[in-house]
Structure 1
Amino acid sequence: MEKANTWPEPISGRSERQPGARVAAIKPARRHLVLNLFVAAATFIAIDFFASGLPLEPRRSLQVLALALVGWTLTSLDDTLVAVTAAVAMTLVVTGKPDSLFSALGNQLIWLLLASFLLASAFKASGVTDRLIALATTRLQSVQALAYALTALLLATAFVVPSTSGRAAMMVPAYAAISEHCGSVRVRRAFALVFPTAVLLSAVASPLGAGAHLIAVDMVRKLSGQEIGYLHWVVLGLPFAVSSAFLSTGIILKIFLTSHERRSKLTIACTNVRPAPLWKRPVWIAAVVTAGWLTEPMHGIDPTILALVGALAAFSPTAGPISFRDALRDADLSLLVFLAATICLADGLVTSGLNEALVAAVFHPLQGAKLPSVVFIALVAAIGLLSHLLIHSRTARVSILLPPALVLAQASNVDPVIVMLTMVSATGLCQTLMVSAKPVALFGRLDENAYGAGDLARLSAVLLPLHFLLIMIFVLIIWPAIQSMLA
């Protein structure tokens, strides 16, 4: 019997309905393309009309940013392709300096991420994840205890692995080992939700937990002049990450499992055992690098240099569980290029004078109106929490939303570091849609018994309001107290 979806047959053997079917399939795609082009053109013209008071360069940079937003939110184009296109456009029509585009790939942030990717590859190849999972399941007495242990493990990986996608991919073998021994589909679904939720929400513990964090640090430095060191971020971000991740894990267990299922026990054998030196050495190297980052104020060694030294040590002939060439292949080149493009884009927004123009045209009147800081922060948190419904990239959300929030913070007399943490922590919650985050899509498609759109909507209906309240508690009480102690 012939397959229904084979390559088209010669003309003499074609069905009369095939051309019509292909035309019917092409028409919606064409309509979608025409609609996207119309929205892009309308956006470009609207900015020219409503922002006609802005000088030419700030207006062009605003148009480039708006068109990038259209590409990120309304089209199926790759996020990195859109970012590179926007960076090239910014170079051509705004800065006119190709060096700013080319030098972005040599930015310190890019090298830091590359070194962290190499360390993550060594960590993953060492098999230490499988050992930890097996050890946890032999000592813990319930599904609930294992879920919290996994949350703690994922929280720890935020200090080593530089992207949520990388951390999610690293934990796929752990989920596979656990899902094989789950007694019911409900338990498997709960664990499938715990993994991406803990990955996404624990990221704020470290400036390396997500690529968006490095962009946020760079934006705060450029727009407010404040420097945020590694230890400074950890002191502020770790308490929120712990509260957010463990609270969300508890909510998942409560919503999707009965009390009997939460108390049931799993037993998992370790299937990927490597010789002790191969799995211990990358762990010690990662621990030394992390300790070096945390103690930077004492020794003054640049974090990127520490990361590069650690990466080189991890691939020495006697320590490396994976070859350096293979580790380079595992590095997320798309993320590195995306970050370089957004760095160039952000530089164009600053050098064009758009930020100063926005302050003069919009935010100075707001400053005169004395917008209450609590209202402003609540607005930033709400926008950040809901932004994943339209902008399906964590880095893109921060790149788009943080600059105006920082500029508005000046008008509202709000600490820019608090504004940055509010935006970063809010944009980290992105579990409502399967397409809103790569870890969510990854674990949702691992097997047919994982979660679906209804499960995500059910979970987000609880997590969104709770995280809004949690962010406001940290903004009003905890972060200011920590800031005062650090001052």
Structure 2
Amino acid sequence: MSMTIAIELLASGMALEARRSLQILVLALVGWTLTSLDDTFVAVTSAVAMTLFVTGKPEALFGTLGDQLIWLLLASFLLAAAFKASGITDQLIALAAGRLRSVQSLAYVLTAILLATAFVIPSTSGRAAMMVPAYAAIAGNCTSARVRRAFALLFPTIVLLSAFASPIGAGAHLVAIDMVQRLSGQEIGYLDWVVLGLPFAASSVFLSTSIILRLFLTAQERRGMLVLPPNSLKREPLPRQPIFWIAAAVVTGWLTEPMHGIDPTILALIGALAVFFPGVGSISFRDALRDVDLSLLVFLAAMICLADGFVTSGLNESLVTMVFRPLRAGELPSIMFIALVAMIGLLSHLIIHSRTARVSILLPPTLILAQASGADAVMVMLTLVSATGLCQTLMVSAKPVALFGRLEENAYSAGDLVRLSAVLMPVHFLLIMAFVLIVWPAIELMLV
């Protein structure tokens, strides 16, 4: 209550609707960061408050569930359920393990496979759960506790960092795409994200794999032999899996959208329906629906409503005019602002233990600041989202980290996570800045 009163007094120059939007935003931030309330509950409560006190249009709230991004995420979850049930990932790993023998070579192949799954599975938790059998096969045939620990750290780290390769790699990405469009007017298509995100994600995951191998294993252990028995993972030939070809066709369709013009969401829905035809998949449509993360869908819909409220109320323009306009005078150069965004994003998981919540909390004010400092909104969004993907310092920082940490006794300790994060954080800060200064501007020039 005291914060709402303070906003009334300190922001009296704002329009009434803008003040109400700011109050709702501040209360939502408090709910997400300082209480034990569920993130989705806070988001929906804020969206209802935005409808009652700012927009006054219930249809704006109800209509968010019909937004294109909601349907894209729904179709992606259905495709992911069929993909996981088919055991295709196990087959790929078994195929790799049959040809590769050293710990190091298997680690890099697993990294490549996990990177590819970011284009099909729209949930880091889902991809982590899908890789549990692969880890169990490796751990069950490995006598070295140090090697088991390295692979236990490898799986969640690569799952989290590889998500940035695809717009459906994490729900936070769809939130970011929508907010950029609504708050800055810039649209980011599927292919645009992949062209910008895949190079960073690939650099990030292979660099992280190299760091894990060198930080936790000796050179002899890295070159050591690791042989999985033939029956440890499924080995049905991939050509016999129609789901593999359907998923490949959907991803290809997404990447070639400029050529055929078919909407990515329609392509995803066609693929999601195709995998449930009789004789195609091993899971029913009803069972696949149970795997859909309804909480994430509702969260995204609520955030769409909130972003609309910020725009229609004029909150972003009011904040730029009244609070952040001095930045235009050169007090904070855009590159320094982006570096600050990267540092905040890298550290945010220590306080906010949800990837989607981190982006939802940090991105709106960051985009407003970007407008005031003259920084490119897309570049700022990429910086923040890529930074928030690094979240393995604590067991509670991400579900995949907690999952693999509890698979077996002493899989890895809290000290192992801190040790790994102490190296990954500065390395990723430098990697982000290299992409901001060199790689992403060069890619954007080619896209123009």
TM-score (norm 1): 0.88
Once the two structures are TM-superposed, the CA of residue 295 in structure 1 deviates from its matched residue by: 0.4
* 2:63 counterpart residue number: 103
Once the two structures are TM-superposed, the CA of residue 279 in structure 1 deviates from its matched residue by: 5.8
Once the two structures are TM-superposed, the CA of residue 250 in structure 1 deviates from its matched residue by: 1.1
Q: How does 1:196-235 map to 2 (within 5 A)?
A: 196-235=156-195
Query: Root-mean-square deviation (CA), in Å?
Result: 1.7
Once the two structures are TM-superposed, the CA of residue 277 in structure 1 deviates from its matched residue by: 7.8
Once the two structures are TM-superposed, the CA of residue 45 in structure 1 deviates from its matched residue by: 4.0
* 2:111 counterpart residue number: 151
- Counterparts of 2:438 and 2:177 in 1: how far apart (Å)? 22
Say if 2:389 is the partner of 1:428: yes
* 1:399 counterpart residue number: 360
* 2:20 counterpart residue number: 60
Question: What CA deviation, in whole Å up to 9, does each residue of 1:449-472 have, x standing for no partner?
Answer: 212221111111111111111100
Give the alignment partner of residue 306 of structure 2, picking from 315, 320, 345.
345
* 2:79 counterpart residue number: 119
Assess if the C-alpha contact under 8 Å between 1:277 and 1:319 holds in 2: no
Once the two structures are TM-superposed, the CA of residue 368 in structure 1 deviates from its matched residue by: 2.2
- CA, structure 1 residues 447+278, in 2 after alignment: closer, same or farther (shift >3 Å)? farther
- Counterparts of 1:78 and 1:266 in 2: how far apart (Å)? 43
Say if 2:51 is the partner of 1:91: yes
Give the alignment partner of residue 299 of structure 1, picking from 249, 260, 274.
260
- CA, structure 1 residues 336+397, in 2 after alignment: closer, same or farther (shift >3 Å)? same
Assess if the C-alpha contact under 8 Å between 2:94 and 2:235 holds in 1: no
TM-score (norm 2): 0.96
Question: What CA deviation, in whole Å up to 9, does each residue of 1:348-390 have, x standing for no partner?
Answer: 2222211011111122221123531211111111111111111
Question: What secondary structure sits across from 1:421 in the alignment?
Answer: helix
Which has the higher mean CA deviation after the structures are superposed, 466-475 or 361-370? 361-370
Q: How does 1:375-386 map to 2 (within 5 A)?
A: 375-386=336-347
Residue identity in the other structure for 1:199: V
Runs of 5+ unmatched residues, structure 2:
none
Runs of 5+ unmatched residues, structure 1:
1-40
Residue identity in the other structure for 1:108: Q
Question: What CA deviation, in whole Å up to 9, does each residue of 1:5-45 have, x standing for no partner?
Answer: xxxxxxxxxxxxxxxxxxxxxxxxxxxxxxxxxxxx44444
- Counterparts of 2:132 and 2:32 in 1: how far apart (Å)? 27
Runs of 4+ more than 6 Å apart: none
- Counterparts of 2:181 and 2:135 in 1: how far apart (Å)? 39
Give the alignment partner of residue 426 of structure 2, picking from 465, 480, 483.
465
Once the two structures are TM-superposed, the CA of residue 120 in structure 1 deviates from its matched residue by: 0.7
Q: How many residues align?
A: 447
Q: How does 1:11-26 map to 2 (within 5 A)?
A: none
* 2:96 counterpart residue number: 136
Residue identity in the other structure for 2:43: A
Say if 2:303 is the partner of 1:323: no
Once the two structures are TM-superposed, the CA of residue 58 in structure 1 deviates from its matched residue by: 1.7
Residue identity in the other structure for 1:196: P
Residue identity in the other structure for 2:29: L
The sequence identity of aligned pairs, in percent, is 75
- Counterparts of 2:240 and 2:401 in 1: how far apart (Å)? 28
Question: What secondary structure sits across from 2:98 in the alignment?
Answer: helix
Assess if the C-alpha contact under 8 Å between 1:126 and 1:278 holds in 2: no
Residue identity in the other structure for 2:419: R
- CA, structure 1 residues 448+44, in 2 after alignment: closer, same or farther (shift >3 Å)? farther
* 2:142 counterpart residue number: 182
Once the two structures are TM-superposed, the CA of residue 82 in structure 1 deviates from its matched residue by: 1.8
Assess if the C-alpha contact under 8 Å between 1:127 and 1:274 holds in 2: no
Which has the higher mean CA deviation after the structures are superposed, 344-353 or 190-199? 344-353
Once the two structures are TM-superposed, the CA of residue 275 in structure 1 deviates from its matched residue by: 5.7
* 1:286 counterpart residue number: 247
Assess if the C-alpha contact under 8 Å between 1:185 and 1:449 holds in 2: no
